Amino acid sequence: MKNKIIIIALLLTGFVNALSSKSFASNKGGKEKVVIQTSAQCGECQEKIESAIKKLDGIKSVDLNLDTKKVTVVYDSLLTTLDKIKSAISNAGYDADDVKANSTAYDNLPSCCKKGGKE
Ligand SMILES: [Cu+2]
């Protein structure tokens, strides 16, 4: 009887370990897809943002929608992070969600590319 309890306990521990290592593995890397709100105004902004993101490692695809100003990025989370993508956008002169545009880069944008430039 005691042996049975030990076996069940061992099986349970193994099961819990298997579960936790599985969730760890899925956090460890692979394809991630994010949608980031930017402050892009026109096609030129779109190109600048897309090429800034493409310079990072592990970028699979970048697609900026000018109607919504949202950029969809598919990337390998082993090679890059969401923070790196946001700072690439900021360093290009545009807002990326909660990350504000780098002010020097923003000042260097043509006036039509600044916020409200197209409105
Ligand atoms: Cu522009």
Specify the CATH number for the domain of residue 51: 3.30.70.100
Residue 89 lies in a domain: yes
Indicate the pLDDT class of residue 10, thresholds 50, 70 and 90: low
> Helix 82-91 crosses helix 43-54 at what angle (to 10 degrees)?
140
Tell me, in angstroms, the distance from the centre of ligand 1 to residue 115's CA: 9
Residue 62 lies in a domain: yes
Residue 2 lies in a domain: no
Tell me, in angstroms, the distance from the centre of ligand 1 to residue 91's CA: 15
* Consecutive H or E run containing 65: strand 59-65
Indicate the pLDDT class of residue 115, thresholds 50, 70 and 90: confident
First-residue to last-residue Cα distance in the chain: 78
Cβ contacts of residue 28 below 8 Å, gap of 6+? Answer: 78
Q: Is 25 exposed, middle or buried (0-12, 13-18, 19+ CB in 10 A)?
A: exposed
Residue 17 lies in a domain: no
Tell me, in angstroms, the distance from the centre of ligand 1 to residue 67's CA: 13
Residue 95 lies in a domain: yes
Residue 7 lies in a domain: no
Percent of the chain with pLDDT over 70: 74
Q: What number of other Cβ atoms are within 10 A of residue 30's Cβ?
A: 11
Residue 63 lies in a domain: yes
Residue 78, domain extent: 29-113
Structural domains of the chain, count: 1
Q: What number of other Cβ atoms are within 10 A of residue 70's Cβ?
A: 15
Of the listed ranges 66-70, 100-104, 108-112, the one predicted with least confidence: 108-112
Tell me, in angstroms, the distance from the centre of ligand 1 to residue 66's CA: 10
Residue 92 lies in a domain: yes
Taking only the tens place, the pLDDT of each residue in 18-69 is: 555 444 444 566 899 999 999 999 999 999 999 999 999 999 999 999 999 9
State the pairing for strand pair 70-76/59-65: antiparallel
